[in-house]
Amino acid sequence: MKTCVTCGGKITLVDISKQGTMRRFKSMMLTVPDAIMVPTCTGCGAEYHGATEAEAIDASLGAKFDAILSERGVELTKKLMVHTRLWKIEWLLGLSHGYLSKVRHKKRVPSASLVAVLALLNADPEAFPTLESFWGVNLDEIYSK
Ligand SMILES: [Zn+2]
């Protein structure tokens, strides 16, 4: 039986999904959703995972992260449609036409950066004129001609 190098405690296999411990994954703190057995010290809780367990944890958290991004992409694009048209957002963010429609219908998983910008635009719809000014365009004027 192996013992912990930190406290000398006993190391046993623990399903880390049942611990509820929050772990950082990119911009979020998440719990591991899938059952993954990791050698863990019963004394201090230190984990002794190898590459296999680390890959399984990353894959599990990555899938959860993408699902959350997808849900937030749907929610944020719906809310933004109250203030403006999706094509205007696509223009101002340099996205291809129709991209946000794919996000809204869960056909594309938005990046964390895009979700962050969509959240900021929702929090401050007055940022739209700021972006138009920044890029030197007036979309209503362009499309009224
Ligand atoms: Zn320990």
What's the pLDDT score for residue 1? 64
Q: Report yes or no on 126 lying in a domain.
A: yes
In a domain, 34, yes or no: yes
Distances (CA, A) of 71 to 46, 66, 83, 117, 133: 33, 9, 20, 15, 30
Domain containing residue 33: 11-144
In angstroms, what is the span from residue 38 Cα to ligand 1's centroid?
14
pLDDT at 69: 98
Tell how far CA 145 is from the center of its chain.
39
Would you tell me the crossing angle of helices 112-123 and 127-135 to the nearest 10 degrees?
A: 120
Distance 48 CA to ligand 1 centre (A): 10
Does some domain include residue 16?
yes
In a domain, 75, yes or no: yes
Q: How far is the CA of 28 from the centre of ligand 1 (A)?
A: 27
Q: Which of 78, 72, 141 is nearest to 110 (CA)?
A: 72
- Number of domains comprising the chain: 1
Look at residue 3 and tell me if it is in a domain.
Answer: no
How many other CB atoms are found less than 10 A from the CB of residue 31?
15
In a domain, 135, yes or no: yes
4 within domain boundaries:
no
The pLDDT of residue 142 is 85
For the chain, residues with pLDDT lower than 70 are 1, 145
CA distance 39 to 45: 10
Q: Is 6 inside a domain boundary?
A: no
pLDDT of residue 144: 80
